[in-house]
Amino acid sequence: MNYTITEKILMSHTPEKKEIHPGEFIWAKIDLALANDITAPLAIEEFKKAGAKKVFDKNKIALVADHFTPAKDSRSANQAKMLFDFAKEHSIKNCFDVGRMGVEHALLPELGLVAPGDLVVGADSHTCTYGALGVFSTGMGSTDIAASWITGRVWLRAPQTIKFVYKGKLTKWASGKDLILHTIGDIGVDGALYKAMEFTGPVIDKLDMDSRLAMCNMAIEAGGKSGIIAPDGISKLKSDKNAEYSEIKEYDISKMEPQVACPHLPSNVKPVSQLKNIKVDQVIIGSCTNGRISDLRVAAKVLKGKKVTSSARTVIIPATQNIMKQAIKEGLVDIFVKSGCAVSTPSCGPCLGGHCGILADGETAIATTNRNFLGRMGSPKSFVYLSNPAVAAASAIKGRIAHPEEI
Cβ contact 257:403 at 8 Å: yes
Identify the burial level of 5 via C-beta atoms within 10 angstroms of its C-beta, where 0-12 means exposed, 13-18 middle and 19 or more buried. Answer: buried
Amino acid 101: pLDDT: 86
Q: Which CATH superfamily is domain 260-406 in?
A: Aconitase, domain 3 (3.30.499.10)
- Name the region of 112 (left: φ>0; alpha: ψ -120 to 50; beta: rest): left
Separation CA 193–CA 371 (nearest Å): 17
- Asked whether residue 9 carries a pLDDT value surpassing 90, the answer given is yes
Confidence of residue 193 (pLDDT cuts 50, 70, 90): very high
Q: Average pLDDT, stretch 325-336? A: 98
CATH 3.30.499.10 domain residues, the chain:
1-256, 260-406
348 labelled ligand-binding:
yes
CA-based nearest residue to 186, from 103, 247, 108, 124:
247
Give bridge partners of residue 120 from the DSSP assignment.
Answer: 32, 137
Summarize pLDDT for 12-59 with one digit per residue, the tens.
999 998 999 999 999 999 999 999 999 999 999 999 999 999 999 999
Separation CA 37–CA 63 (nearest Å): 8
Which ranges in 116-240 belong to alpha helices (H)? 142-151, 176-187, 202-205, 209-217
Amino acid 404: pLDDT: 97
pLDDT cut 70: percent of the chain above it = 99
Q: Which CATH superfamily is domain 1-256 in?
A: Aconitase, domain 3 (3.30.499.10)
- Asked whether residue 332 carries a pLDDT value surpassing 90, the answer given is yes
- Asked whether residue 228 carries a pLDDT value surpassing 90, the answer given is yes
CA-based nearest residue to 46, from 151, 138, 118, 129:
151
Q: How many residues does the chain have?
A: 407
| Gyration radius of the chain's alpha carbons | 20
Amino acid 232: pLDDT: 85
Amino acid 135: pLDDT: 97
- Asked whether residue 234 carries a pLDDT value surpassing 80, the answer given is no
- Asked whether residue 235 carries a pLDDT value surpassing 70, the answer given is no
Separation CA 350–CA 102 (nearest Å): 15
Separation CA 261–CA 181 (nearest Å): 7
216 labelled ligand-binding:
no
Q: Where are the beta strands (DSSP E) in 57-194?
A: 61-64, 95-96, 119-122, 136-139, 153-157, 160-167
Summarize pLDDT for 253-283 with one digit per residue, the tens.
999 999 999 999 999 999 999 999 999 999 9
Separation CA 35–CA 121 (nearest Å): 9
Q: Average pLDDT, stretch 376-394? A: 97
Summarize pLDDT for 99-154 with one digit per residue, the tens.
888 999 999 999 999 999 999 999 999 999 999 999 999 999 999 999 999 999 99
The DSSP line for 297-361 is HHHHHHHTT----TTSEEEEE-SBHHHHHHHHHTTHHHHHHHTT-EE--S--GGGGT-SSSPBPT
Considering the chain, what is the average pLDDT of its residues? 96
- Asked whether residue 155 carries a pLDDT value surpassing 70, the answer given is yes
* Strand bridging mode 383-386 / 364-367: parallel
- Asked whether residue 77 carries a pLDDT value surpassing 70, the answer given is yes
288 labelled ligand-binding:
yes
* Strand bridging mode 383-386 / 226-228: unpaired
